[in-house]
């Protein structure tokens, strides 16, 4: 693994910060239910190193287990090897907590995990789907959505959706790899409809920005219209140059979840330019220390623009290629 793989950019800190804000609000709002479930389908590690500060940051498993009031039942999913290490470490750190790590591809272990949790199919449930690009399958999202007993609000979903990674994975000369990646995208969406916007981009009918927006829109549209969620929100994470990296898509049936995440997205939008500016300043200070030079002017320092603030817009009808 390269240093870059093991270190996180400021956007990861921002994402984990949003999770750390949401979960206590979720458990507080669910206090009458007395039991809450947290599912983390791509759990990762207990901690990692910030690329900005060089310090350790808690990974999502610790963020979840540190939430107060506490989540009652914590179920994590990781690939074999890392899963066992993670479970051993968390059991040592959090004795007495009801936690378990399922080892294997979460798209396969999800059936057993949800079967094991049937007794809780009435309890408020939050599922983090923190994939890299297109590892989650639509049928897994559908199983999460179908987990709760009829009449209960569905499990809330918080999905990392990396719209800019998708066209990137479809580039290059390796046709087999491109075909395999296209199949994975289709499995993630549960439909080939994403190809309409992609084809429009290839033909020059959509800009790069337009394609990313349509890809994220289609995912939200499907979550609302196919899985039946009442509302979705999307918050776009940006790198230090202000380029979009991925969106965090939130889906809920619950008024409280909708209100709380809308508020958190609004605050995150307000803070994003400042966090970016701090990350840029630290990168610049590192460079100066390394190279022994003083950079007097850095055009990368972003400006705070009111248009960066979060506004909820419902998804539109998915893009269709013009006929003919
Ligand atoms: C982006 S990291 C997760 C970071 C973590 N959620 C956090 O914020 O602290 C993705 C993790 O998913 C794991 N992973 C990848 N494919 C998986 C799969 N199909 N099933 C379960 N875990 C998977 C990887 O091993 C990696 O640790």
Least confident of 23-27, 177-181, 240-244, 258-262: 240-244
- Residue 28 — pLDDT band, cuts 50, 70, 90? very high
What pLDDT was estimated at residue 279? 74
What is the total residue count of the chain? 324
Model confidence at 1: pLDDT above 70: no
Tell me the domains of the chain and their CATH numbers.
3-308 (3.40.50.150)
- Residue 288 — pLDDT band, cuts 50, 70, 90? confident
Rounded to 5°, the CA angle 260-209-171 comes to: 115
- Residue 276 — pLDDT band, cuts 50, 70, 90? confident
Mean pLDDT of 259-283: 84
Model confidence at 307: pLDDT above 50: no
Model confidence at 299: pLDDT above 80: no
Q: What value does the mean pLDDT of the chain take?
A: 90
CA-nearest residue for atom 13, ligand 1, is 42
- Residue 63 — pLDDT band, cuts 50, 70, 90? very high
| Closest ligand 1 atom, residue 43 Cα | 6
Torsion of CA 196, 198, 199, 205, to 10 degrees: 100
What pLDDT was estimated at residue 251? 98
Q: Is the peptide bond before 69 cis (omega within 30 degrees of 0)?
A: yes
What pLDDT was estimated at residue 104? 98
Lookup result for tokens 């889906």: 251
Mean pLDDT of 163-180: 90
CA-nearest residue for atom 26, ligand 1, is 44
- Cβ density class 80-99: b for 16+ within 10 Å, e for less: eeebeebbebbeeebeeeeb
Of 92, 99, 88, 111, nearest in space to 64 by CA = 99
> Cα–Cα distance between 160 and 165 in angstroms, integer?
11
Question: Of 283 and 55, which is predicted with more confidence?
Answer: 55
Q: Ligand 1 pocket: which of 4, 10, 43 to mutate (most atoms <8 Å of CB)?
A: 43
> Cα–Cα distance between 172 and 181 in angstroms, integer?
12
What are 250's strand-pairing partners? 158, 233
What pLDDT was estimated at residue 3? 40
CA-nearest residue for atom 8, ligand 1, is 60
- Residue 95 — pLDDT band, cuts 50, 70, 90? very high
313 lines ligand 1 (CB under 6 A): no
Lookup result for tokens 């950079």: 295
Least confident of 3-7, 88-92, 126-130, 268-272: 3-7
135 lines ligand 1 (CB under 6 A): yes
Digit-coded pLDDT (tens) for 238-266: 887 888 899 999 999 999 999 999 999 99
> Cα–Cα distance between 125 and 123 in angstroms, integer?
6
**Percentage of the chain exceeding pLDDT 70:** 92
Mean pLDDT of 296-309: 53
16 lines ligand 1 (CB under 6 A): yes
Q: Ligand 1 pocket: which of 39, 79, 137 to mutate (most atoms <8 Å of CB)?
A: 79
Mean pLDDT of 277-281: 75
Least confident of 19-33, 185-199, 212-226, 302-316: 302-316
Digit-coded pLDDT (tens) for 35-46: 999 999 999 999
| Closest ligand 1 atom, residue 132 Cα | 1
Mean pLDDT of 156-181: 92
Model confidence at 22: pLDDT above 70: yes
Mean pLDDT of 275-303: 66
> Cα–Cα distance between 288 and 266 in angstroms, integer?
34
What pLDDT was estimated at residue 295? 58
């Amino acid at each position: 693994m390269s240093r870059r793989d093991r270190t996180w950019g400021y956007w990861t800190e921002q994402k984990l910060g949003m999770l750390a804000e949401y979960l206590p609000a979720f458990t507080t709002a669910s206090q009458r239910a007395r039991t809450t479930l947290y599912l983390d389908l791509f759990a990762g590690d207990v901690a990692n190193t910030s690329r900005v500060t060089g310090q350790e940051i808690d990974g999502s498993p610790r963020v979840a287990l540190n939430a107060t009031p506490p989540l009652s039942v914590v179920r994590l999913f990781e690939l074999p090897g890392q899963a066992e290490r993670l479970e051993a470490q968390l059991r040592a750190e959090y004795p007495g907590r009801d936690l378990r790590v399922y080892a294997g591809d979460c798209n396969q272990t999800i059936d057993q995990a949800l079967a094991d949790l049937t007794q809780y199919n009435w309890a408020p449930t939050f599922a983090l789907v923190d994939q890299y690009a297109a590892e989650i399958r639509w049928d897994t999202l559908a199983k999460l959505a179908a987990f709760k007993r009829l009449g209960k609000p569905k499990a809330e979903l918080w999905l990392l959706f990396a719209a800019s990674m998708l066209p990137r994975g479809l580039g290059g000369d390796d046709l087999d790899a491109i075909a395999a990646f296209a199949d994975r995208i289709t499995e993630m969406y549960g439909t080939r409809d994403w190809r309409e916007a992609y084809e429009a981009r290839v033909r020059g009918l959509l800009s790069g920005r337009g394609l990313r927006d349509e890809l994220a829109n289609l995912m939200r549209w499907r979550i609302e219209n196919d899985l039946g969620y009442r509302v979705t929100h999307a918050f776009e994470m940006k790198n230090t140059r202000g380029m979009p990296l991925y969106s965090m898509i939130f889906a809920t049936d619950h008024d409280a979840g909708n209100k709380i995440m809308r508020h958190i997205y609004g605050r995150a939008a307000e803070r994003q330019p400042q966090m970016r500016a701090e990350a840029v300043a630290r990168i610049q200070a590192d460079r100066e220390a390394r190279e022994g030079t003083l950079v007097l002017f850095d055009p990368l320092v972003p400006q705070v623009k009111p248009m960066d603030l979060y506004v909820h817009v419902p998804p539109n009808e998915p893009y269709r290629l013009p006929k003919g």
